[in-house]
Amino acid sequence: MYDIYCRTGIKISFPIIADRNGEIARKYGMIANDISNTETVRNVFVIDDKGIVRTILIYPLNIGRFIPEIIRIVEALQMADCSKGSTAANWMPGQPVIVPPPKTFAELEKRNKEIQENQNGINWYLSFENPPQKCLQETKNENTNKC
């Protein structure tokens, strides 16, 4: 962690663990037995503050990870959690989120009216809204504090 800090100026604010005997790597399926009994494939696990694995990315041994995509995934998870919406394919920070579908017929009618007035959707089941300001601020603060 200190070497990362010295080379990049970034302080790592989460635990990094050693797995000298490969026990953890085997539990998470990180050993590619068809390639090696000891070398791990390039895995990325995004685990939330409740200990829930939210994303798993697996790269071949000879392919590097794409850090901007990993950061985008973390930001999308944070935005979806905060806004209670979903992020669309190719979503980028600052873009609208998908609004959860209505639960009643009255909500459906209200949604259709909003879509007609605001041109913010395709149909009652697929409409968009700008994320709440608090979500934009929380996501920005969380990511700023960690880097």
Please say which residue of 32, 65, 98 terminates a domain: 65
Say if residue 82 is in the same domain as residue 127: yes
Tell me the per-residue pLDDT of 19-41, one tens digit each, with 9 for 90 and over: 888 788 888 877 776 666 666 66
The pLDDT tens digits for 36-58 are 666 666 788 898 889 899 999 98
Alpha-carbon dihedral sign for residues 71, 75, 80, 85: negative
DSSP state of 56: E
Calculate what percentage of the chain has a pLDDT beyond 90.
47
**Are 79 and 131 contacting, i.e. CB atoms less than 8 angstroms apart?**
yes
* Widest pairwise Cα distance in the chain: 61
Name the residue type at position 3. Answer: D
87 burial class (0-12, 13-18, 19+ CB within 10 angstroms)? Answer: buried
Q: What is the pTM of this model?
A: 0.72
Residues 42 and 72 in one domain: no
Checking if the pLDDT of 115 tops 80, the result is yes
Position 146 scores a pLDDT of 44
Check residue 141 and give its pLDDT: 62
Domain that holds residue 10: 2-65
Within this chain, do residues 90 and 49 fall inside the same structural domain, yes or no?
A: no
